[in-house]
Every structure is written in structure tokens, then in C-alpha cells.
């Protein structure tokens, strides 16, 4: 077998399939302008340096614009000046600084948990924590919401634990599966709070009731909620007064917090166990000082900035109202995430391209495998910095693009 030749043919064939199905991913080159968020400069294919066109981004996960907050930028610059750019080692090999332990203490306190642990990203946190927890005891079984994120699925699969998948947010189905399982097996129930592709929110107390009834522990991904919900922005568990009932909370530093990295928070011995055995923590370089200092500044700001959260909620409500008034379809989101159904991968992609090229608006088309085929959508997020004028422009553009696409 000529491996090189065969591999080349495989890759080319796969890419052709993606293109034919309208699922080939082009990454638009978007230059963030910190002083003008959510205005970016779009570097079109073939554009030379400095030739970017100004556009408005409607699909940033920097939900609060914290990545551009003056205190956060200052903290990053200050840390670079004091400590340099990189951590220089894994946590075990000279890579743990007071910034790491300080941020972990802040995260634990924020979530009302005794301990927290940083990871290279939210993906790594889910993968490492779930695969480690689920192999801790023999015969562990995991119950997983059908819409859980790829990083959770990766961690659960790696563990080899028996996995039961319940229909999204369908607690009757979850209970059916729990009831049918071996009462003697150790169990983990894994779910998210805000689901990123639907914008709906899990009933945390009901999930905890079931966990209690069947002797399971709870693992909650709060990635799309940290910074955004609750009196101090710690997430839906804080908002619902459920933090003490959740055994392990996982979050990202990259979305509402606006910087980079991931973490878990929970019981001291569990967190220490994961710290001691998870390959995804042990064999990778620690987060750099710029990221840690910026994150700490961001969280401290967020915790006391309820008005910022209120502004974000107000903007999301204004966006939903404007879409409804214009007769544009949207999924019934309970959160800041506003999905607009545009079924068909080709059509969804074409609509997004026209929004960008003809209207200067960047909106990400969401296709399979992120969502099931036939449920393709545009995913919008209003930040506190999206103005009424920006909302009006978006609605006018969507109307134009969707009705033309409809007639075609």
C-alpha cells in the first residue's frame, strides 16, 4: 500500500464531500478592534494587509465584550511587562505561579466551591475531568443530555464508561433511564445550563432532585452562563440557588469572561484527584501570565457589575423584539442566544455569505454535525455593545436576504 497516495486521495475525497454538502468550513479573517467592539475589520480572500472592510460581528462568544474592557487589557499588558509572555512549563515543572493559585481561589469562591482547577481550555477541562471521574470507580455509568457539547462527549467516550443519552431536557426520559440502570452502579449525570445552539436552559433543581433520588452525582457545564447570569455572574446555578447541589461545575474563561482557558470547581478531594491523575492537565503547559492576570481582572469586574449583565439582557430582549416585529423566525430561546432557523446547509451558508458581503454583517452559519441536518441556523448573540441602530441594520438585512432566498 502506498500510504501517502491513499491518504492524499482520502483527504481530497472527504473535502470534496464537505464542499458538495455546503459544509466546508471557511474561516473568515476578522480583525478585532478593541476600542470599537463589536466592529471588526474583515479581511476578504485576496485582500492585502490594511485592506480590511469594517463590519459588525453578531456571533461573538465574548458575550459581555470583556475581552476589550480597559481593566482587562491593562492587566494583560501589565503581566506581560512583569512576568513575560509564557508560563515556561507545565503546572508541575515550574509552571505554577501565584497568578494560577490566585485565580483558582477566585474561581472556587465565585462558584461557592472549596476548590477549583485551571485547564488549557474549556474543552480540555471537560475532556480531562469527565474521563478521569468516570474511570475513578469500577462500573461507573454516565447519563448525558443529547445536546451536550463535543468536549463532554469526548471525555465520556474516552472513559469507556457506559453512557446513557436522554432526550434533550426531557427529565421523564432521564428518569426512565436511571430507573432501568443497576441501582448498585456509581452514576454521574452530565448536562449544561444554557445550551449554546438552542439558547434554552436546563431545570437544574429538577435534575438535582433526580440525582439525589438515584444516588448520582451532578456534573454541570456552565460555559455559556458564566459571567452572564446570577447576582455575581457565576452562572445559572447561582441564579437558581442550586450551586450547593451541583457536585462539579465546569466553565470557560473564553466566552463571557472574554479571555482564554477553562476550569472545574468542586469538592477538594475530587479536584485534587483530577489534578493528580488527569493527563490533560499534567502533560501540558500552564496558562500564561497575561491570560491569568486578564482573567482575574475580568472576573473581579464581572462579579460586581450587575448593570453590565442587565444591559446584555436588555440588548438580547431588544434583538428578539425587533426580529419578532419584523416577522422573522427564531427559535424560542430563554437566554442571550438567538438562533434563526435557515434549514439546508447550502442555504444557511449562502445567507451568511450574503449578510457579510452585501450588508457587512458577520453571522456564523451553524451546520451539521454541530446541529442535526435540516435544523441549520444562524446563531446571533447581542452584547451590551450592540446598539439600536445595529439591531435595525441587522433586521433589515435579514429581511432582505431571507425573503430573496425564500423566493429563489
Ligand X SMILES: *Cc1c(COP(=O)(O)O)cnc(C)c1O
Comparing CB distances to ligand X, the nearer of 144 and 196 is: 196
Q: Which of 151, 295, 301, 335 binds ligand X (CB under 6 A)?
A: 151
Comparing CB distances to ligand X, the nearer of 192 and 238 is: 192
* Rounded CA separation 291/86 (Å): 9
Comparing CB distances to ligand X, the nearer of 159 and 254 is: 254
Least separation in angstroms between residue 263's CB and ligand X is 9
Q: Which of 37, 40, 63, 123 binds ligand X (CB under 6 A)?
A: 123
122 binds ligand X (CB under 6 A): yes
Would you say 253 and 282 are in contact if contact means Cβ atoms under 8 Å apart?
A: no
Comparing CB distances to ligand X, the nearer of 147 and 322 is: 147
252 binds ligand X (CB under 6 A): yes
298 binds ligand X (CB under 6 A): no
- Per DSSP, the three-state class of 159 is helix
Burial of 191 from C-beta contacts in 10 A (0-12 / 13-18 / 19+): buried
User: Look-up: residue for cell 431545570?
Assistant: 203
Q: Which of 104, 221, 238, 376 binds ligand X (CB under 6 A)?
A: 221
Comparing CB distances to ligand X, the nearer of 117 and 401 is: 117
Name the one range near ligand X by CB under 6 A: 117-125, 320-328, 354-362, 371-379. 117-125
* Rounded CA separation 269/103 (Å): 19
Nearest CA among 68, 1, 76 for reference residue 39: 68
Q: Which of 64, 223, 348, 351 binds ligand X (CB under 6 A)?
A: 223
Burial of 377 from C-beta contacts in 10 A (0-12 / 13-18 / 19+): buried
131 binds ligand X (CB under 6 A): no
Phi and psi at 169, nearest 5°, equal: 55, 20
Alpha helical stretches, state H, 150-197: 150-159, 171-180
Would you say 347 and 362 are in contact if contact means Cβ atoms under 8 Å apart?
A: no
63 binds ligand X (CB under 6 A): no
162 given a catalytic annotation: no
Determine the size of the site formed for ligand X (CB under 6 A): 14
C-alpha cell at 245: 447541589
Name the one range near ligand X by CB under 6 A: 52-60, 220-228, 272-280, 294-302. 220-228
126 binds ligand X (CB under 6 A): yes
As annotated, the active-site residues are: 255
Amino acid at each position: 500500500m502506498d500510504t501517502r497516495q491513499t491518504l492524499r486521495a482520502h483527504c481530497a475525497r472527504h473535502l470534496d464531500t464537505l464542499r458538495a454538502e455546503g459544509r466546508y468550513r471557511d474561516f473568515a479573517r476578522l480583525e478585532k478592534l478593541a476600542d470599537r467592539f463589536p466592529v471588526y475589520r474583515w479581511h476578504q480572500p485576496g485582500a492585502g494587509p490594511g485592506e480590511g472592510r469594517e463590519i459588525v460581528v453578531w456571533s461573538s462568544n465574548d458575550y459581555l465584550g470583556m475581552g476589550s474592557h480597559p481593566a482587562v487589557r491593562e492587566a494583560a499588558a501589565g503581566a506581560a511587562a512583569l512576568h513575560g509572555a509564557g508560563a515556561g512549563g507545565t503546572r508541575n515543572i515550574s509552571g505554577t505561579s501565584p497568578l494560577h493559585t490566585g485565580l483558582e481561589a477566585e474561581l472556587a469562591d465565585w462558584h461557592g466551591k472549596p476548590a477549583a482547577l485551571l485547564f488549557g481550555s474549556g474543552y480540555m477541562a471537560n475532556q480531562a475531568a469527565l474521563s478521569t471521574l468516570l474511570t475513578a470507580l469500577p462500573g461507573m455509568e454516565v447519563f448525558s443530555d443529547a445536546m451536550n457539547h463535543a468536549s463532554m462527549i469526548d471525555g465520556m467516550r474516552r472513559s469507556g464508561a457506559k453512557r446513557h443519552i436522554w432526550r434533550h431536557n426531557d427529565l421523564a426520559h432521564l428518569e426512565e433511564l436511571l430507573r432501568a440502570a443497576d441501582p448498585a452502579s456509581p452514576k454521574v449525570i452530565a448536562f449544561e445550563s444554557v445550551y449554546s445552539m438552542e439558547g434554552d436552559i436546563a431545570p437544574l433543581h429538577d435534575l438535582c432532585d433526580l440525582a439525589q433520588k438515584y444516588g448520582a452525582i451532578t456534573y454541570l457545564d456552565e460555559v455559556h452562563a458564566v459571567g452572564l447570569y446570577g447576582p455575581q455572574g457565576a452562572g445559572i446555578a447561582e441564579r437558581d440557588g442550586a450551586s450547593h447541589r451541583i457536585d462539579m461545575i465546569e466553565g470557560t474563561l473564553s466566552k463571557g469572561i472574554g479571555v482564554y482557558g477553562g476550569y472545574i470547581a468542586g469538592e477538594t478531594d475530587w479536584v485534587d484527584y483530577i489534578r493528580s491523575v488527569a493527563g490533560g492537565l499534567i502533560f501540558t503547559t500552564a496558562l500564561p501570565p497575561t491570560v491569568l492576570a486578564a482573567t482575574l481582572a475580568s472576573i473581579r469586574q464581572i462579579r460586581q457589575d450587575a448593570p453590565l449583565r442587565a444591559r446584555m439582557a436588555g440588548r438580547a430582549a431588544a434583538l428578539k423584539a425587533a426580529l419578532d416585529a419584523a416577522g422573522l423566525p427564531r427559535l424560542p430561546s430563554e437566554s442571550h442566544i438567538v438562533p434563526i432557523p435557515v434549514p439546508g446547509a447550502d442555504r444557511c451558508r449562502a445567507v451568511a455569505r450574503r449578510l457579510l458581503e452585501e450588508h457587512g454583517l458577520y453571522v456564523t452559519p451553524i451546520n451539521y454535525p454541530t446541529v442535526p441536518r435540516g435544523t441549520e441556523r444562524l446563531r446571533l448573540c447581542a452584547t451590551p455593545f450592540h446598539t439600536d441602530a445595529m439591531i435595525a441594520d441587522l433586521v433589515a438585512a435579514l429581511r432582505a436576504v431571507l425573503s430573496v432566498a425564500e423566493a429563489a
